[in-house]
Amino acid sequence: MRRKESVNLVEVAKAAGVSKTTASDALRNSGRVSERTREHVVAVANRLGYSPNLVARSLRSSSTGTIGLHLPEVLTRSEYYMSFVLGVVDRAAKMDYDVMLITAHNVPSRRFHRVDGVVLGDPLETDTVVRGLLNSSVPVVTCERYTGDAEPAAVVRSDHAGTLDRLLDHLRSAGARDIAFLASSTVTDWGRTLQQTYLRWCERHDMRPRLREMAFGSPTAVMQDNVRALLNADPAVDALVCAPDGSAAAVLPVIRAAGRTIGEDLLLASCVDSTALHHTDPPVTAIDLRPREAGAACAQLLFDILSGEAPEGTVSALPIGLTERRSTRG
Amino acid sequence: MRRKESVNLVEVAKAAGVSKTTASDALRNSGRVSERTREHVVAVANRLGYSPNLVARSLRSSSTGTIGLHLPEVLTRSEYYMSFVLGVVDRAAKMDYDVMLITAHNVPSRRFHRVDGVVLGDPLETDTVVRGLLNSSVPVVTCERYTGDAEPAAVVRSDHAGTLDRLLDHLRSAGARDIAFLASSTVTDWGRTLQQTYLRWCERHDMRPRLREMAFGSPTAVMQDNVRALLNADPAVDALVCAPDGSAAAVLPVIRAAGRTIGEDLLLASCVDSTALHHTDPPVTAIDLRPREAGAACAQLLFDILSGEAPEGTVSALPIGLTERRSTRG
DNA sequence: TTGAAAGCGCTAACAA
DNA sequence: TTGTTAGCGCTTTCAA
């Protein structure tokens, strides 16, 4: 469209009376030109309103200054992923990188020339974009392990098993003797780890497991139906741990409708914290996954891989925490 | 790094025994080559694992297949913006476009060569990125008007004034006679419109306005302090409308602590709906801003501007709605 | 310290 | 229907 609206390097060079090489070096501060010419060229460039064509630069230098980011399709509305994205963007901006959101439409077979590397948040085994990216030759960092059979360049992990154990111990010491678990699907490493941890904990403590699994991205009505059914079927249940993001908040009305009092005859906890859980009555105990830090850690690890500072196969640990609130005081 | 790992057009052309133009045309389905050669070239390309270098393509065709997206820095955690982003990404993907998140670090003075156009969600007057983008020569579509003095190519708007009027009327007919307003800053068109609408409505109905303004992105503690102070100072207040995203949910504990019963002696409503407000006790009446549709509408309008189907200066209306819940039954 | 020339991988204009 | 040639705007040799 607007042809020739922007001035290019040659024009700057001409106006400054130097070669295009010198102009390029001056503007990139390569340390090759004298201070005097550098200042001169920069002044001319500013006067002409020059901005470098990053596409041309990418083509020549074969590095794009951009990282890709892909998240599960089904996330719908989730504070966790929003914070995760912000963490990635924030760290990328610090390194002077842009972030491109990658969707299903155009992942090529071998090389994704538009980005220098990719961050995958909670890669689903079933996601074709994830598979495409892992099979392409661009470096990939995942948040949580990929449970399929391709290897990312590096992984950021958290100790979900240990933290859920702590949560279950906490419930037990608050008096719970029959803890139910609203589980997330095993299609992610996170969901799978939580299920296993719950089942093993029950075994160790001689507690009969009461687990209901929900598909990733289930609508709230389904979560509510499950909990309603669960409370009806097993009136002895005196604590409930909710894994899917948003499920703890969503089932509050159902629990109230069942005549239970949260924090007293039914302890409630969530595997994903959110601001909503701060303000409920009572506030709900939750695992703090520190999504913003997770995003930043993934981006940083990707940059370390790209620069060679971190070797392929690096697994980096992200600490997470348990925030106890009134819903589990017992 | 991995030099020569990916095969390029010349190699495909050579292997297929055609010129690189023909190969290019065959792979892009330009309709210039015979069906026979097209199939042959495509087969060879697949066999070699060819994927086109989009950077080179962009440089040559001077269109990037990417749109930019910029949101206010202060959004912190917000379901509204998450949905907005999904709307943009979704529509972009349908048009075979990628979405790049634009942050403060690298907005140039004249031309942002990496994107074909930009969507701005709720542009803040004070945001330097917004100003830079609006002054650059790339087409910009904003969600809500920009209150500064530059003109975007097009705007998507909603009838916030009309909808807030409806909400206030609804409160009045539910018995409210003294409606307070927790306002958002006037730094966005949305915040400004809501304040004006509230004040005019009060005037028309001979009601003394009780307005407290919060800075964009205020922490929940500040919101809570404001409402606590408001309820103390004006015990006659029998309804509260909360503008800032998340504030209605955040002030619930404060209202309870003040001994008020929501939906009975204090009606509560929010100017931004969210899933959290569905599940509170009682559920909270809210304006549904339809963020996902807003994002999609912005992206679509940008594509229409780019293709010339929509003229510069287009203002497109997005319908929004009011969802009445138990918090305002009166 | 600077300049000239080559070329990143592709598409568009011009020929055949 | 196909091939040849010329760049897109930049960075990077290689030479001076």
Residue-wise pLDDT for A28-80, tens only, equals: 998 889 999 999 999 999 999 999 999 999 999 989 999 999 998 876 558 89
**φ/ψ bin of B60: left (φ > 0), alpha (ψ from -120 to 50), beta (otherwise):** alpha
Render pLDDT for A73-120 as a digit per residue (tens, 0 to 9). 876 558 899 999 999 999 999 998 999 998 876 666 556 788 999 999
What's the confidence (pLDDT) of residue B106?
61
Distance between the alpha carbon (CA) of B100 and the C1' atom of C5, Å: 35
In this predicted structure, what is the pLDDT of residue B135?
86
Verify if strand D has an atom below 7 Å from the CB of B141: no
3-state class (DSSP) for residue B317: strand
Minimal-distance CA residue of chain A relative to B253: A279
Query: What's the Cα-to-Cα distance from A307 to each of A116, A300, A304, B281, rounded to whole Å?
Result: 11, 11, 5, 52
Which residues of A fall within a CB distance of 8 Å from B83?
77
Q: Is A54 exposed, middle or buried (0-12, 13-18, 19+ CB in 10 A)?
A: buried
As a whole number of angstroms, the distance between CA A190 and CA A245 comes to 12
Please tell me whether residue B124 adopts helix, strand or coil conformation.
coil
Say yes or no: Cβ of B53 under 7 A from any atom of strand C: yes
Q: What is the pLDDT of residue A126?
A: 87
Report pLDDT for B75.
Answer: 67
Give the CA B52 to C1' D1 distance in Å.
23
pTM reported for the whole predicted model: 0.94
Distance A19 CA to D14 C1' (A): 16
Asked whether strand D has any atom less than 7 Å from the CB of A59, the reply is yes
Contact B106 A113 (CB under 8 A): no
Give the Cα separation of A211 and A208 in Å (integer).
10
The more confident residue out of B111 and A299 is A299
B242 beta partners:
B182, B270
Cβ-defined contact of B6 to A220 (cutoff 8 Å): no
CA-to-CA distance for B86 and A237, rounded, in angstroms? 38
pLDDT 10s digits, A153-207: 999 999 999 999 999 999 999 999 999 999 999 989 999 999 999 999 999 999 9
For chain B, 330 residues long, give each residue's pLDDT as a single digit of tens.
333 468 999 999 999 999 999 999 999 988 889 999 999 999 999 999 999 999 999 999 989 999 999 998 876 558 899 999 999 999 999 998 999 999 876 666 556 788 999 999 999 988 888 998 998 889 999 999 999 889 999 999 999 999 999 999 999 999 999 999 999 999 899 999 999 999 999 999 999 999 999 998 889 999 999 999 999 999 999 999 999 999 999 999 999 999 999 999 999 999 999 999 999 999 999 999 999 999 999 999 999 999 999 999 999 999 999 999 999 997
Which tokens hold the place of A7? 């001035």
Would you say the C-alpha torsion B168, B171, B175, B179 has a positive or negative sign?
negative
Nucleotide nearest to B23 (CA to C1'): D2
Cβ neighbours of B203 (radius 10 Å) = 11
Residue B29, Cβ neighbours under 10 Å: how many?
A: 10
Nucleotides of C under 7 A from a protein CB: 1-5, 7-13
Residue A4 scores a pLDDT above 50: no
User: Please, which residues have CB within 8 angstroms of residue B321's CB and are 6 or more apart in sequence?
Assistant: B163, B287, B288, B290
CA distance B32 to B38: 9
- Of A146, A150, A157, nearest to A136 by C-alpha is A150
Do B99 and A100 count as a contact with CB atoms less than 8 A apart?
yes
Between CA B3 and C1' D6 the distance (Å) reads 26
Residue position matching structure tokens 């972009």? B92
End-to-end Cα distance, chain A: 67
Residue B108's pLDDT is: 61
Query: What mean pLDDT comes out for the span A145-158?
Result: 94
How many whole angstroms separate alpha carbon B114 and alpha carbon B292? 25
Stated as kind and residue range, the H or E segment containing A190 is helix A189-204
**What ranges make up the beta strands (E) of A136-255?**
140-143, 154-158, 179-184, 210-214, 239-242
Say how far apart CA A330 and CA A189 lie, in whole Å: 31
CA distance B140 to B150: 11
Q: In chain A, which residues have their Cβ closer than 8 Å to the Cβ of B246?
A: 275
- Of B6, B90, B92, which has the smallest distance from its Cβ to A137's Cβ? B6
Which residues 6+ apart lie within 8 Å of A173 measured at CB?
A: none
Q: What is the DSSP letter of A178?
A: S
For position A32, what pLDDT does the model report?
Answer: 87
pLDDT per position as a tens digit, A209-229: 999 999 988 899 999 999 999
Q: Which chain B residue is nearest to residue A277, measuring alpha carbons?
A: B276
Q: Cα separation of A48 and B211, whole Å? A: 49
Q: What is the pLDDT of residue B98?
A: 92
Sorting pLDDT into bands at 50, 70 and 90, what band is A299? very high
